[in-house]
A and B are shown apart, each in its own frame.
Chain A
Amino acid sequence: MKVVVCVKQIPDPALPGELNPTTNLLKRDGKLILDESDSYGVEMALQLVEAAGGGEVSLVSMAPNNEMSGLRTALAMGADDAILVSDENLAGTDALGTAKVLAAAIRRLSPDLILAGVESSDGYTGTVPEMVAGVLDLPSVTFAKQISIDGDTVKVQRQTEAGYDDVECKLPVLLSVTAGVVEPRYPSFKGIMAAKKKPVEALDLQGLGIDLNTVGLVGARQETIRVTEAEERESGEIIVDDGDAHQRIAEFLGELKVI
C-alpha cells in the first residue's frame, strides 16, 4: 500500500510571527517546522502501513527556500521519502494554487491513499485537502478520526458534532485527519540519523509542469485586503484579600450563576 501525506512546514508557532506589510502575508523566510496538524496524518499513515504489513509512506510539501526541516522530522518518524516543491514564483500562492501544486506532485506518486490535516496551524483555511481531491478528481472524506483499509475499500469514522459517521469509500481517496486522534510518535534517534539519508526529490514549477500564471501572487484569486489586530482579552479582576475576599468571590460566582 502506498500512502501520501501532505505535510505543511510552518514558522515555529512558539516564536513571534511577522507579517509582510505590503502583502499582509505571513513571513516564512526562517526555519520552518512540521505543522503539528500534519503530525497526526504522518502517524496515521505509518500505523496504516504497519497494519497492512508493508507499504510506503511518501510526503508531499510545498514550501519556500527549499526548506525541509519539517520534512526531516516526518521522515525521522518513519516516512520513506518526500517530494518538496519550492519555487520563487510560488510566493503569495493562495489555497487553490497550493492545491494545484500538491496535486501535480501527488500525481507522480500514484498513491492508494492520500492523507492531509483538516486545517493547518498558520493559514487554517481548511480548504486545501478538498481542493486537492477536486483537482485530482478523487473522492474525499473530511474529519477522519479512525481509518481502516479492507481490500480496495477504506472505512472511515468521520467525526461530527454529535459523534461520528461511518463512511465507506473505494480507493484511491483523500482523507483529512482530525487533529489529536492519534498520538504522534517521537522520532527515534536512529530515525533522525536515517532521515538524513532518505530521498527528498526537490522540484520547481517547471519540473512539475505547472503554468506559472496559475499560481503565485499572479495566479492568486484570494487576496488579503486588511489585517486587524485581535481584540485584547479583558484582564480579569484581582481581588485583594482585606478579610472579605471570600464574600466577594462568592458574590462573583453568584453573578455567574455558578453557585
Chain B
Amino acid sequence: MTEVGLADEMISTLRTWVDSEVIPHASEFELPDIYPTDMVLQMAEFGLFGATIPEEYGGLELDNSTYVRVIVELSRGWMSLAGVINSHLICAKLIAQFGTDVQKQRWLPAMATGDLRGCFSLSEPDSGSDAAALRCQAKPDGDEWIINGTKMWVTNGEKAGVVALLARVPADDEGAGGITCFIVEKTPGEKSGGISISKKIKKLGYRGLETVEMSYVDHRISATELLGGQNGIGNGLRWALSALELGRINVAARGVGVAQAAYDAALSYAKEREAFGRPISQHQAIAFRLAEMATKLEAAKLLTFEAARKADAGERVDLAAGMAKLFASETASELALDAMRIHGGNGFTSEYPVERYYRDAPLMIIGEGTSEIQKLVISRALLAE
C-alpha cells in the first residue's frame, strides 16, 4: 500500500505541474493534434511510466487508490495524458502478472522508465464489445509464431516497442489453442518486419496522441514473446479481461478528472459572467445546475475511489469497477455539456477549454467496455448473487 502522506505529496507535486504546465498549454497541442513531447518527458521524470510496475523492476508500485488520484489529476488537465500511460501500464500489468521471470526481467525495467513503451491491442475492425470474436491469427512454425490480421484502435501503437497482442491460436492435436496474448517486440515507427501502421485514426477528441490501425502480414515473432510461455496458450482473453477490470477503474478516474475540470470551469465562469445585472450564478437555474453538477461529481468520485479501495483490499471488483466506470463516464459527458451551457456562446469556441471536455468525455463512455457492456457486467454480477 502506498503511504497516504507520500501519496499526498506526490499528488500535490503533480497538481502544481498540471496547473502551471498542462492547463495553460493543452489546447496548443490538442487542437492541432500534436504529440506533447515535453509533457510526456516530464511524466517520465515523475516516474509515471512505472506507476503501477512492481518496485523490484524499477517501478513505483503505486496502489490503485493512488494511481486513481494520479489519473484524476492528469485528466483534470488534459485527458489525453492519462491515455499516454494507460495502455502502457495495462501491457506492463499483463507482463507482471502472467509473464515468466525471464519476460519480466526483459521488459519491465525498461518500461518502468518509459524508455520502452507498451500498448494494448485487443480490438479489431469487426470485434470490439464482442472481444471473443477476434480473428487475428498466430500460427506456430518451429520456434517461431507467424502473425496475420488487422488490429484496430491501438492507442500508442506507433510509439510502442512492445505490443500486448491478443491473437487466436489454432487448436493443436490435443485441442489446445484459443485466444492467446503475445508481447510482440517491434521497432517504434510506421513499419517493423511484417507490422505496419495501416491507418492513423482522426479523432473527435483524445487528440495529441496516436490511435492507429495496425496490420500484421506474415509477421514472425520468437517463442519467447508468447506471454507466460506454453501455459499462456488459450488464456489470453481471460488475462486481458482481468487487466481491463483495473483499466475500467482507470477510465472511471479519467471521467472524474474531466468532470472536475468541467465543473471548475463552470463554477468560475458562473461567478464572473454577468447577465441581467448580476452574475449568472445568482440566477437560480444556473445555481441549481451547479448544485447538480457538484453532486454528480462527488458521487462519481466516491464510486471510483471505492472501487480502487476494493481492488487494493484484494476484493472482487467487477461490480464496483463496472458501476464506477458507468457512472463516472456518463457524468463526465453530462457535466461537459452542462459546463458548455453555462458558458453560453463562449463554451462553443476554442477560446475556452470546455469544448475540449465536451469532445473528450464520450471516449470514456466507449473505451474499455461501452456503457451497455458495463450494464451487462453489473447486471450479471447482481443476478449471480
Which residues in A have some Cβ–Cβ distance to B below 8 Å?
72-73, 76, 185-190, 192-193, 196
Contact = CB atoms under 8 A, between A and B. Distances in A.
User: What's the dominant secondary structure at chain B's contact region?
Assistant: helix
B45 A72 contact: no
A4 B105 CA distance: 39
A187 to B, nearest CB: 6
A76 B5 CA distance: 14
Given A192-B6, A193-B6, A193-B60, A186 B47 contact: no
24 contacts: A72-B9, A73-B9, A76-B13, A185-B45, A186-B13, A186-B16, A186-B42, A186-B46, A188-B46, A188-B47, A189-B10, A189-B46, A189-B48, A189-B51, A189-B60, A189-B62, A190-B60, A192-B6, A192-B9, A192-B10, A193-B6, A193-B60, A196-B3, A196-B6
Nearest to B48: A189
A28 B51 CA distance: 35
A182 B16 CA distance: 18
B17 interface: yes
Chain B interface size, as a band, is 10 to 19
Contacts of A72: 9
A73 B6 CA distance: 11
B47 A187 contact: no
Contacts of A196: 3, 6
A189 B47 contact: yes
A185 B10 CA distance: 14
A180 B17 CA distance: 17
Interface in B29-68: 42, 45-48, 51, 60, 62
A189 B46 CA distance: 5
A130 to B, nearest CB: 31
B74 to A, nearest CB: 13
A188 B42 CA distance: 9
With most chain A CB atoms within 10 A of its CB, the pick from B17, B42, B47, B51 is: B47
Contacts of B47: 188-190
A72 B6 CA distance: 11
A187 B48 CA distance: 12
B60 A186 contact: no
Contacts of A73: 9
Nearest to A185: B45
A76 B46 contact: no
Interface in B3-33: 3, 6, 9-10, 13, 16-17
Contacts of B17: 186
A72 B13 CA distance: 12
B62 to A, nearest CB: 8
Contacts of B60: 189-190, 193
B6 to A, nearest CB: 6
A11 to B, nearest CB: 16
With most chain B CB atoms within 10 A of its CB, the pick from A72, A76, A185, A186 is: A186
A191 to B, nearest CB: 9
B6 A186 contact: no
A49 to B, nearest CB: 18
B167 to A, nearest CB: 35
B6 A188 contact: no
Contacts of A189: 10, 13, 46-48, 51, 60, 62
B63 to A, nearest CB: 13
B45 A186 contact: yes
A83 to B, nearest CB: 21
Contacts of A187: 9, 13
Nearest to B60: A189
A183 B42 CA distance: 13
Given A193-B60, A196-B6, 10 more contacts: A73-B9, A185-B45, A187-B9, A187-B13, A188-B47, A189-B46, A189-B62, A190-B47, A192-B10, A196-B3
Nearest to A196: B6
Contacts of B62: 189
A196 B7 CA distance: 12
Nearest first, the 8 closest Cβ-Cβ pairs linking A and B are A189-B47, A189-B10, A192-B9, A190-B47, A188-B47, A189-B60, A192-B10, A189-B46
A120 to B, nearest CB: 20
Nearest to A195: B9
Contacts of A190: 47, 60
Nearest to A187: B13
A189 B17 CA distance: 13
A186 B39 CA distance: 12
A185 B41 CA distance: 13
Contacts of B13: 76, 186-187, 189, 192
Contacts of B3: 196
A43 B17 CA distance: 17
A128 B353 CA distance: 45
A13 to B, nearest CB: 13
B90 to A, nearest CB: 20
